[in-house]
Structure 1
Amino acid sequence: MKSQEIRQQFLDFFESKKHAIVPSAPMVLKNDPTLMFTNAGMVPFKEYFLGQKKATNARVADSQKCLRVSGKHNDLEEVGKDTYHHTMFEMLGNWSFGDYFKKEAISWAWEFLVDVLKIDKDCLYVSVFEGAKEDGLGFDQEAFDFWKELIDEDRIINGNKKDNFWEMGAQGPCGPCSEIHVDIRSAEEKAKISGKSLVNMDHPQVVEIWNLVFMEYNRKADGSLEKLPSKHVDTGMGFERLCMVMQNVQSNYDTDCFTPLIREVEAITENDYGKNEEVDIAIRVISDHVRAVAFAIADGQLPSNNGAGYVIRRILRRAIRYGFTFLNKKEPFIYKLVTTLSKQMGANFPEIKAQKQLVTNVIKEEENSFLRTLEQGLILLDGIIKNTKGTEVSGKKAFELFDTYGFPIDLTALILSEKNMTLNESDFNVELEKQKNRSRAAAVVETDDWVVLQEDTEEEFIGYDTLATKVKITRYRKVSSKKDGELYQLVFNMTPFYAEGGGQVGDKGYIEVDNGNVIYIVDTKKENNLIIHFAKSLPKNPTQTFNAVVDEKQRFRTNCNHTATHLLHQALREILGTHVEQKGSAVHSKNLRFDFSHFSKLTVDELRAVEDFVNARIESKIPLEEFRNIPMQTAQDKGAMALFGEKYGDTVRAIQFGNSVELCGGTHVENTSDIWHFKIVSESAIASGIRRIEAITGDATKDFYFENNRAFFEIKDLLKNPKNPQKAIADLQNENTALKKQIEGLLKDKAKNLKSELINEVEEINGVNFLAKKLDLDAGSLKDLAFEIGTQVENLFLIAGTENNGKAGLTCYISKNLVEEKSLNAGQIVRELGKLIQGGGGGQPNFATAGGKNPAGIEEALEKAKEYIS
C-alpha cells in the first residue's frame, strides 16, 4: 500500500467517526514563545487544551508536519544513524476536546490498525501508565481494562513516567498515555527474543507507532498537578513508521516516503545505497534533511544566524557536510532534490509545489556559502596541523575553528584521524560547555503560575475601534529573565492593545487607576490565544477596574507604516511582476521592513517607480475599507492573497485601499493621506531570490528630509557656497584623483629607495632571514615592496608595522619554501600578533595582513614575531 493511500485511509476512518479533517498547520510557529516549531501534532491545538479558546469542532483529525531538532524533543543527532528517527516527520492524529476519552481512543486505534489496515495483532504490544508516587498518581487501571478486552494481557506492559506520562513542557497540560508498539522482526528472531523485552529499548524493528495521550492534568510551576476543567484526547502516530509496517520493510527509509529521494541522491552523487554504512548514513541524512529544510522555507522560515532560521541553517549544513565528507560532493547538489520532493508530496502539501523555485534557490545559495566555509576551514585546519607539535591537536584551537568559522568538529576529527593525529576532545568539550552555559544563562526565563482572578472568557480585542477602555485583569503571573529583568504578564477581559503579530509590533501604553497612578505596559504579545500585556509592576489591588490606554502617537506611526507595506506590496507586483510575493515584514513605529521574492537587485529607476507608485496612492487620499469576520473564500474573491506559513481561521479580516486587498489582522490608517510621504532608505538581498526593502513614512520622512537638507547646506558652506555644488564636488574629486596618483608615484619611489636599505637590515636567525620594521607606507606600496625584497632575499620572514590615521597595520611575508619546511603560516601569525594591536586579520600562508586600533602595540608585535623562528 502506497503512503498516499495509507494517509487517506487514516483520514477517511476518522471522518467516519465524525471527526473534522483539518489541513496541516505551518511547521514554523509565530505566536508561541515557548516553541520555535511544531514538534508534535497537538501543538496547533494548544489553546484548546489550555482552555484559552473553545474548539469549533470537538473532534478533529489531521496529518501534521512536525520538526524535532531543538529543545526537549531533539532527534537531530540520531537522524541517519538509525532507521526510524527524523527531523521532519508527519504525525497522524485524532483529537477530542472535552468529548470522548479513553474507551473510544483505545478502541478506534485498535480498530484502525487491526480491522482496517489488517496489521497482525500478534505483532502489537501496548503500554499503560504504571503510576508515579511523587505525583500521587496510581496505575491506569481504566486504560488497562479497556486494553485487555482487545489484546492478551501478556502483551500489555506497565510503562514508567518517562515513557507513559506525556507533558507539554515543564508547565502546562499533561496526562498518562498508552503507547502502541509494533514488532516487525522475522519469525525466527521473535522465537529467540520476546518483543515485549525490546519495547522502548531503541530496537530498530520494535518501535512505538502510536501514542494515545489522555490529557487530564495541568502541571504547575511548583511541580504539582491539578485537574483540568475538561478531559481531552491527543493521539499521535508516526506516519513514516506506519508506512514501514504496511510496506513490509525494515526501515522507514525503505518506504516510498524516502525511496524517490534516495534514488535521486544515488543518481546525482554516483553512490549506491546499501553497500557501505558510511555512505548509507550520508544518503539517509540528506534525504531526511532536505524535507525539513524545504518545508520550513516553504512555510516562510529562511535560514539565518539566529532563532528558528539558525536551526534550519544547521540542519542544511549537516546534510551538506555529510555529502562533502562521505559522498565526495564538493559542489551544490541538494537543491536538485526539491523537484523530486515537490512531485512526491505536492498533492498533499501544496505549499511545496507553489514555493518550489524559491526553496530551490535558497538551498542552492546556502550550499554555495557553506562549501566556501568548508574550503576556508580546510586551509585553516591545515595550518593548525602544521603548527602542532606532536600528534594531538588542541581542543581550544578546534573549538575556535568550529565557533568562529563554522567548521564542523566531526569533520575536524575525521581529517585528523586520516593523518594519524588526535583531537583533545575534553578541552573542546570544556569550551563548548562554556559557550552553552553562556547561552543558557541568557535564555533562562523563570515563569510563575497564573494567578486566576476570574474565570477565563475569550479575551476581546477592541483596539481597531478605540485606544482606551475600562478593563479588568482576569489573570496575571510574574516572569524573570536576564535579558528583561522582572516583569508581570497581565491578561484583561478586553483590550485595546494590539498584540505583536503579522509583522506588526505590539502596542505600548499604560493602565491607570482612579487615583491617577499608572502602570506602564511595555509590550503586548500573543501566547496561543491569550493577549499578554507586559507590565513593569503589578497593581497593589489587581482586582479593581483600570483604564487601559494605548500610546496614541506610537500606534498612529505604526499604522502609517503598516498601510505603507500594503501599498508597497501592490507597487512591487505592479512594477516588477506578479511573481513578487511577500516573504516577511516588520512594522514598527519608526520604520518598516518588507521582504519579497524577486530574482535581481532593483535598479534606481525601479526604486523610484515604486516610491512614486506608493506616494501617488497617498496623494489620492484613498479611504480604508475593512471587512471583518468574512469567509476566507469571500476574501480571496475580493483579490486577497493568503501568505504561505500563516495560519488562517474559517473567517478572516481583509483590508482594502483601492486595488490593494490583503488578509491582515493589523492596524491601519483611516485614509492613505495620513501617511504623508513614503521613502525607501535601503534595498538589499537577504537570500537567493529574496530582496528586502526598508522604508519610512510620516514624521520619520520629515526628519529624513530635514537632516538631508541641513547636510546639503553644510556641504555648500564647506565648499564656499558655489552656485553649482555638484560641479564643485566633481572638481574636487578630479583634483583628489590626480593628487592620489602623484602620492602613489612618490610612495613607489620611496619604497624603491627603501628596498636596498631594508635588505641591508636583514638578520639571519636559525637559517631564516628575518626583518621586522615599522614603515611609513600605504598597504599597496608595502605589499609590492615585500614581494620585491622576497625575490632578492631567500628564506625571508618579513614583518612590517604601519600607522595611518590612528590605526595600526601589520604585514607579513614568508618565502614559500619556509611555509613548507618550517611550517610557518603568515595568516596564523598575523592573527595572533593582531591581538597586540587590538585587531585581527588573515590571509594566505605566505602573505597576510592585520589591522587594529592600537598603534602602541606595533613595536611589541614586531618583537614577538622573532619567537616564531627563535
Structure 2
Amino acid sequence: MKSRDIRKAFLNFFESKGHLIVPSAPIVLKDDPTLMFNNSGMAQFKEYFLGNGTPKSKRIADTQKCLRVSGKHNDLEDVGFDTYHHTMFEMLGNWSFGDYFKKEAIAWAWEFLTEVLKIDKDRLYVSVFEGNEAENVPFDQEAFDLWKQYVPEDRIIYGNKKDNFWEMGDQGPCGPCSEIHIDLRSDEERAQVSGRSLVNADHPQVVEIWNNVFMEFNRKADGSLEKLPAKHVDTGMGFERLCMAMQGVTSNYDTDVFTPLIQKVAQITGLKYTSNEVKNISEEQNKINIAIRVIVDHVRAVAFAIADGQLPSNTGAGYVIRRILRRAIRYGFTFLNQKEPFIYQLVAVLADQMGEFFPEIKSQQNLVTQVIREEEASFLRTLEQGLHLLEKVVAETSGKEVKGEKVFELYDTFGFPKDLTALILKEKGYSFNESEFEAELKKQKDRSRAASEVATGDWHILVEGNTEEFVGYDQTENEVKITRYRKVDSKKDGILYQIVLDATPFYPEGGGQVGDRGVLVSANETIEIIDTKKENNLILHFAKQLPENVNTTFQAKVNTELRSLAASNHSATHLLHQALRTILGTHVEQKGSLVSPNYLRFDFSHFAKVTDEELKEVEDFVNARIQEHLPLIERRNIPFAQAVEEGAMALFGEKYGDSVRAIKFGESMELCGGIHVQNTADIWYFKIVSESAVAAGIRRIEAITNKAVKEYFADQEHLLAEIAALLKNPQDVAKSVTSLQDENAKLKKQVEQLLKDKAKNLKGELASQLENINGVDFLAVQVDLDAAGVKDLAYELGNNKNNLFVVLATVNENKPMLTCYVSKELVESKGLNAGQVVRELGKYIQGGGGGQPFFATAGGKNAAGIQEALEKAKEFVK
C-alpha cells in the first residue's frame, strides 16, 4: 500500500466506527504556553481531557503533524543515525472523550491491523501495564483479559511505568497504556531469537507502532494520582513506522514517505543512497546515508513549521526551527560537499507528496522555498566565517589541543557545530578539549533551565463544572466570582496567582493582541490583574496576591485606557493588511502580529523591500479609511465555511473552530477574536515608524495610532524647534541644513588633503629613521594620523623598498591601533607575516586583529601598551 492509501484506510475505518474526522492542527502552537510545538496527537485535545471544553463529537480521528525536538520529547540527535526516529512525524489517532474505553479501543486496533491491513498476526506483540505499588495502581487485568481474546499469552508483555504509563506532563491527565509492537525481521532471524525479548530494546526492526492510552487519572502537583471524572481513550500510531510495516521494508526511509525526497537529493548531489537492505557498506557510504536521512527528515519539519507560520529566528520556537535547518545544511556541507543552497529544491517534492492531505504546504510553497533558500545562504556564509575564526583560534593555540571554551564560543556565538569543528581540527592535526566544551554547554543549559523553571500548584476548585465565559466584547466591567485558582512560582516572575472567573470581561492574550490588565474590587480590597492569558480553554488572570476572601463577589474592571489603545492598534492592523494587499498585491498574507497599547507590529509575505513611495501609499490608504468613519460590523458564531465564502480572510497557521467571529470595516473583513474600535475614526491617525526584513520573503512594519501618534507629532515638533534654535532660527530650516552639509563636505576634503600632505612630509622624516637589522629596514613608531593616512604612509614607505618591516601606532578617540607593513619579498624570504605580527603585538593594547601577510591591523583598548608593543616589534627581525 502507498502511504496515502494507508492514511485513507485508517481514517475511513474509524469513520465507519462513528468517529468524526478532523484536520490536523498546526504543528506550531500559538495558544498553549506550555508547549512550543504539537508534539503528540493529543495536544490539540488537551482541554477536553482536562474537562475545560466540550468536543464537537465524543469520537474523533485524525492524522496530526507532530514535532519532537525540545523538552521531554526530544529525538533530534537520534535522527539520521537510526532508521525510525524523526523530528516531524505523523500521528494517526482515534479518540474517545468519555465514550468507549479499553474494550473497543483494543478490538478496533486489532481489527484494523490484522483485518483491514492484513498484517501477519504472528509478527505482533502487545504490552499491558504491570502495575506500580508505589503509585497504588494495580496490574491492568482488564487490558490483559481483553488481549487474551486476540493473542496468545506469551505475546502479551508486562510493561513498567516508563514504557506503559503515559503522562501528558508533570501534572495533568494520565493513565496506563497498551502498546502494539511489530517484528519486521526475516523469518530466519525470528526463528533464532524471539521477538518478545526485543520489544522496547531499541531494535530497529522490532518497533512500537501503536499506543492505546487509557486516560483515567489526574497527576497532582504533589505527585499523587486522583481519578478523573470521566475515562478517555487517546491513541497514537506512528504513520511512518506503519508504512514501513506495510511496504515490506526495514527502514522508514525506504518507504514512499521519504524515497521521493531521497531521490531528489541524490539527483542534486550526484551521490547515491543505499537502502537498509544493503549490508556491509563502507564507512564513507554510511556517512552519506546518514547525511541524506538527516536532510530529508529535517526539510519536512522546517517546511511545515514555516507553512504554519513559524519563521526561523534567534529566539523561542523560531530558534528551534533554525537549529533543525542548520543541522541539515551542515550535514550537506560536510558529507555531501554542498557549498551552495540546495535543500530548498526539496520543497516542491514535498508539496507534491503531501499537498492532498495538508493543503497548507501547497498554498505556502513559494514562501517556504524562499525562506529555506535564504536561510541556507545565510548559514553557509556563517560556516565560511566560522572557518576563518577557527583558523585564527588555531594560530593562537600553543600545542595541538584547542581550548574547549574557544570551540564553545564558536558554537554559541556563530552557530558553528562542534563536530564540524572537530573534523576540521583533525584535518589540521589538532583536537579540542571536549570536557571543557561540555562544561561550558552545561553552564549554558543550567542558566537557561534556571530562568525557565516553573513550579505550578494544583487548582483549588471553588465552583464545579464549566461555568467560565468571556463577556469582554460587550462589557469592560462585570460582577464576578472566582471559580478556581492556583499558585505558580517561576524563577523569572516570582510567585504569581492564576485566577479563573465565572464571567470575565478581561481579554486573554491571543491573535497577536496582549492580554487585558485591570483590577478585581471587593468591599474590602483591590487586587491588581497584571496580565490575562488563555491555557487549555481557561482564561487565566495573573495577580501578585490572592484576595483575602476568595469566595466573595468582586467587580472585575478592565483598564479601559490600555484596552482602547490596543483596540485602536488592532483595528489598524486589519486596515494595514487590506492596504498592503491592495497596493503590493494579493500575494501579501499576514505572517504574525503584535498588538499592544503602545504600538503595532505586522509581519507579512512580500519578496522585496517596500519602497518609501509604497509606504506612503499604504499610510495614506489606511488614513483614508480612518477619515471615512467606517463603523465596526461584527458577526459572531457564524459557520467557518460561510465566513470564508463571504470573503473573510483566514490566516494560515491559526486554529479555527466550526463557528467563528468576523470583523468588518468597509471592504476589510477578517476572522478575528480580538478587541476592536467601534468606528475607524477612533483610531485617529495611522503612522508607519519602520519597515524591515524579518526573514526571506517576510517584511515587518511597525506603526502607531491614536495617543502614540499625538506624542510622536509633538516630539517631532519639539525636535524641529530645537534644530531651528541651533541654526539661529532661519526662515528655511531644510535649506540651512543643506548649506551646512555642503560646507562640511568641502572642509572634509580639505582635511583629507592636509592629512595626505602630512603623510608625505612624514614619509621623508621617517625614512631617515629606518634601522637596518639583519638586512631588514625596520621602523616601529607612533604617528598622529587617521587609519587611512597610516595606510597611505605605510605603502608610500614601501614603494621603493624590498626589505621593509614597519609597525606604526596611532591613537584616535582614545582607541589605539597598530598597523604592520611587510615587503612581499620579506614575506617570502624571511617568513614574516603581518597578520601574525599584529595578533601578537595586539595583546599589549588589549586587542587583536589580522589581515594579509604583507599588511594587517589590530585595534585595542589600552593605549598605554603602545610603547611596549613597539619595543617588542623589533624582536621579529632580530
Question: 1:98-153: CA deviations, max 9, x gaps?
Answer: 11111111111000000110000100011111112221122111111111111011
- 8 A Cα contact 2:520 2:556, kept in partner: yes
Amino acid at match of 1:696: I
Instruction: Tell me the equivalent position of 1:461.
Output: 470
Q: CA deviation at 1:868?
A: 9.2
Q: Does 1:425 align with 2:434?
A: yes
Note closer, same or farther for the CA distance 1:187–1:821 as it changes in structure 2 (3 Å cut).
farther
Instruction: Tell me the equivalent position of 1:99.
Output: 99
Instruction: Tell me the equivalent position of 1:489.
Output: 498
| Separation (CA, whole Å) in 1 of partners of 2:555 and 2:523 | 8
Instruction: After TM superposition, list the pairs within 5 Å mapping 1:335-734 onto structure 2.
Output: 335-515=344-524, 517-734=525-742
Instruction: After TM superposition, list the pairs within 5 Å mapping 1:841-856 onto structure 2.
Output: none
| Separation (CA, whole Å) in 1 of partners of 2:731 and 2:856 | 48
Q: Does 1:316 align with 2:319?
A: no
Q: CA deviation at 1:384?
A: 2.1
Amino acid at match of 1:614: V
| Separation (CA, whole Å) in 2 of partners of 1:714 and 1:627 | 50
- 8 A Cα contact 1:680 1:695, kept in partner: yes
| Separation (CA, whole Å) in 1 of partners of 2:72 and 2:272 | 35
Instruction: Tell me the equivalent position of 1:298.
Output: 307
Note closer, same or farther for the CA distance 1:470–1:417 as it changes in structure 2 (3 Å cut).
same
Instruction: Tell me the equivalent position of 2:66.
Output: 66
| Separation (CA, whole Å) in 2 of partners of 1:76 and 1:368 | 23
Q: Does 1:32 align with 2:32?
A: yes
Amino acid at match of 1:609: E
Instruction: Tell me the equivalent position of 2:81.
Output: 81
Amino acid at match of 2:575: L
| Separation (CA, whole Å) in 1 of partners of 2:385 and 2:828 | 18
Note closer, same or farther for the CA distance 1:818–1:623 as it changes in structure 2 (3 Å cut).
same
User: Which ranges of structure 1 fall in alignment gaps of 5 or more residues?
Assistant: none
- 8 A Cα contact 1:830 1:848, kept in partner: no
SS of the residue corresponding to residue 52 of structure 2 reads coil
Note closer, same or farther for the CA distance 1:650–1:421 as it changes in structure 2 (3 Å cut).
same
Instruction: Tell me the equivalent position of 2:255.
Output: 255
Question: 1:362-381: CA deviations, max 9, x gaps?
Answer: 00000000000001111121
- Larger displacement relative to structure 2 (844-853 or 272-281): 844-853
SS of the residue corresponding to residue 135 of structure 1 reads coil
Q: Share of identical aligned residues, percent?
A: 67
Note closer, same or farther for the CA distance 1:136–1:8 as it changes in structure 2 (3 Å cut).
same
- Over aligned residues, Cα RMSD in angstroms? 2.5
- 8 A Cα contact 1:683 1:691, kept in partner: yes
SS of the residue corresponding to residue 669 of structure 1 reads coil
SS of the residue corresponding to residue 637 of structure 2 reads strand
Question: 1:319-359: CA deviations, max 9, x gaps?
Answer: 00000000000000000111111111111100000000000
Instruction: Tell me the equivalent position of 2:753.
Output: 745
Question: 1:4-62: CA deviations, max 9, x gaps?
Answer: 00000000000000000000000000111111000000000011111111222111000
SS of the residue corresponding to residue 742 of structure 1 reads helix
- 8 A Cα contact 1:575 1:610, kept in partner: yes
| Separation (CA, whole Å) in 2 of partners of 1:444 and 1:845 | 51
| Separation (CA, whole Å) in 2 of partners of 1:109 and 1:192 | 29
- 8 A Cα contact 2:838 2:849, kept in partner: no
SS of the residue corresponding to residue 339 of structure 2 reads coil
Amino acid at match of 1:409: K
- 8 A Cα contact 1:797 1:812, kept in partner: yes
- 8 A Cα contact 1:105 1:233, kept in partner: yes
| Separation (CA, whole Å) in 2 of partners of 1:190 and 1:795 | 79
Instruction: Tell me the equivalent position of 2:278.
Output: none
Q: CA deviation at 1:864?
A: 8.3
Note closer, same or farther for the CA distance 1:353–1:61 as it changes in structure 2 (3 Å cut).
same
| Separation (CA, whole Å) in 1 of partners of 2:250 and 2:872 | 62
TM-score by length of 1: 0.95
SS of the residue corresponding to residue 73 of structure 2 reads coil
- 8 A Cα contact 2:804 2:823, kept in partner: yes
Note closer, same or farther for the CA distance 1:68–1:825 as it changes in structure 2 (3 Å cut).
farther
- Larger displacement relative to structure 2 (775-784 or 329-338): 775-784
Note closer, same or farther for the CA distance 1:513–1:733 as it changes in structure 2 (3 Å cut).
same
- Larger displacement relative to structure 2 (851-860 or 415-424): 851-860
Amino acid at match of 1:451: H
Q: CA deviation at 1:198?
A: 0.8
Amino acid at match of 1:29: L
Q: CA deviation at 1:727?
A: 1.6
Q: Does 1:164 align with 2:172?
A: no
Tell me how many residue pairs correspond in the alignment.
Answer: 867
- Larger displacement relative to structure 2 (414-423 or 119-128): 414-423
Q: CA deviation at 1:775?
A: 3.8
| Separation (CA, whole Å) in 2 of partners of 1:534 and 1:869 | 70
Note closer, same or farther for the CA distance 1:799–1:474 as it changes in structure 2 (3 Å cut).
farther
SS of the residue corresponding to residue 134 of structure 1 reads coil
Instruction: After TM superposition, list the pairs within 5 Å mapping 1:214-253 onto structure 2.
Output: 214-253=214-253
Q: CA deviation at 1:303?
A: 0.1
Instruction: Tell me the equivalent position of 1:776.
Output: 784
SS of the residue corresponding to residue 266 of structure 2 reads helix
| Separation (CA, whole Å) in 2 of partners of 1:438 and 1:827 | 37
Q: Does 1:204 align with 2:204?
A: yes
| Separation (CA, whole Å) in 1 of partners of 2:630 and 2:829 | 72
